[in-house]
Amino acid sequence: MLVMSNFIKQKYCKFLLLSLAVVISLVFSVVPFLSVRAVTIDELNAQAREIENKIKVNEEHLGVLAERASTLEEKLNQLRAQIAEINTQIENTTNKINVLEEELAKTEKELNRQKDILKNNIRTLYKQGNISTVQLLASTDSYADFVNEQEYLERLKLGVQESADKVAKLKKEIEAKKTEQEELREQQKAQRELAQRNKDEQDTLLAQTRGEEVEYKRVTEELQNQQAAVYAQIVARSRVLTGVGTGNYPWADYREGSWTHAGSCTYGDDIDPWKYCYRQCTSFAAWRLYASGRQAPVGYGNANNWGYIAAANGIPTGGTPKVGAIAVWGGAEGHVAYVEEVYGDGQARISEYNAVPALQGRYSERIISPGDPYIYIYF
């Protein structure tokens, strides 16, 4: 019952959703609106359309929720990546701080060594400084030696002082770098905490969204059960024929064992020559017309559109079943079937797909009242 116009997937044709074996239980347990008065086909179709509209609203909400969940997942992935990057930055900053601490320890050790040298030289200078120039001259062999010793002491004093200044400056620079890195690490930790809070909030929103999705799916399932009960009544108005085989439909075994109504039109290779999906009502109806030697309609869309599109293309339509006509049901996405035989009382034998058993992609034949479909198309 599914179609793909221009290979774009249409909604599922949801017609005749229950087998006759479960009609009574569903009718009385799910459909409270039934009464003693016989319900007409038009009323049943109206009920089906009303339920379908509710299902569409729910599906729209589900689409919004799915999009929201996708956005939240994307944000969560970004936050996870951000947190991982910040953790890497913190680790790198910590490593830099450790290196600076090692450099600082070495610098302090060198500073202490220079201080010791300075102390020793100061002590020497102090001792030398207590000797008068006359005594210093007397203690040296020549004036040149005296001058050299004075210059040496002066250079030593200046060298030690320069070394001490250099070491002190280096220590100050390392301490400044260390402080800067520690401040950076604290900023990174704050960024990580903020990103983690955002992630937790997004996690909560995603959980809420998933919960809403579950609820909307539950409501949709209930609506589909109600819709199934309505269609079951339509099926109950007809007489299902047994032992009818496959109707010679060439794709009767397509994906046998794995085909599902929900999966149909999503496999990627299940489009027939007339742009309908295999084992759906539309595909069978198009093939049956082709097999009878006539031109099959191409890309008419969902089954409930066939009557309008055919009329718009100048193809005759009417309310009387004729052999070779296509019977069309409205409501939801509708249903189409091929009229194989018409009896004297106006009843017709139809052939169809994906109606009985419900949504199992099987061939079936039924005897229907002439007024059950809303229109017949005379291709």
**CATH code of the domain containing 193:** 1.10.287.2610
Mean pLDDT of 325-336: 86
- Other CB atoms within 10 Å distance of the CB of residue 107: 21
Residues of the chain with pLDDT > 70, as a percent, come to: 81
pLDDT at 132 over 90: no
* 4 lies in the same domain as 82: no
Is 0.85 topped by the overall pTM? no
Of 237, 268, 287, which residue is a domain's last? 237
216 assigned to some structural domain: yes
**Which domain covers residue 251, as residue numbers?**
1-18+238-379
162 assigned to some structural domain: yes
pLDDT at 324 over 80: yes
3-class DSSP state for residue 275? coil
Q: What is the DSSP string of 191-247?
A: HHHHHHHHHHHHHHHHHHHHHHHHHHHHHHHHHHHHHHHHHHHHHHTSEEE---TTT
* 248 lies in the same domain as 216: no
Cα 316 to Cα 326: distance, rounded to the nearest angstrom: 11
Q: Over the chain, what is the mean pLDDT?
A: 81
| CATH for 11 | 3.90.1720.10
- Other CB atoms within 10 Å distance of the CB of residue 216: 19
Instruction: Please report the pLDDT score of residue 311 as a whole number.
Output: 95
211 assigned to some structural domain: yes
* 222 lies in the same domain as 345: no
* 114 lies in the same domain as 140: yes
Mean pLDDT of 50-71: 89
298 assigned to some structural domain: yes
* 42 lies in the same domain as 157: yes
Report the number of distinct structural domains present in the chain.
2
26 assigned to some structural domain: no
Instruction: Please report the pLDDT score of residue 8 as a whole number.
Output: 33
Confidence tier at 51 by pLDDT (50, 70, 90): confident
* 368 lies in the same domain as 284: yes
Query: Contact at 8 Å (CB) between 353 and 363?
Result: yes
Cα 43 to Cα 223: distance, rounded to the nearest angstrom: 17
* 166 lies in the same domain as 272: no
Cα 352 to Cα 249: distance, rounded to the nearest angstrom: 10
* 44 lies in the same domain as 105: yes
Of 216, 237, 258, which residue is a domain's last? 237
Cα 41 to Cα 18: distance, rounded to the nearest angstrom: 17
* 191 lies in the same domain as 287: no
366 assigned to some structural domain: yes
23 assigned to some structural domain: no
* 14 lies in the same domain as 35: no
Mean pLDDT of 277-291: 97
* 52 lies in the same domain as 41: yes
Best mean pLDDT range from 5-9, 11-15, 44-48: 44-48
3-class DSSP state for residue 367? strand
pLDDT tens sequence across 61-76: 999 999 999 999 999 9
Of 204, 237, 270, which residue is a domain's last? 237
* 220 lies in the same domain as 256: no
Confidence tier at 12 by pLDDT (50, 70, 90): very low
* Residue 116 in tokens: 């010791």
Mean pLDDT of 175-197: 89
210 assigned to some structural domain: yes
pLDDT at 31 over 50: no
Instruction: Please report the pLDDT score of residue 42 as a whole number.
Output: 74
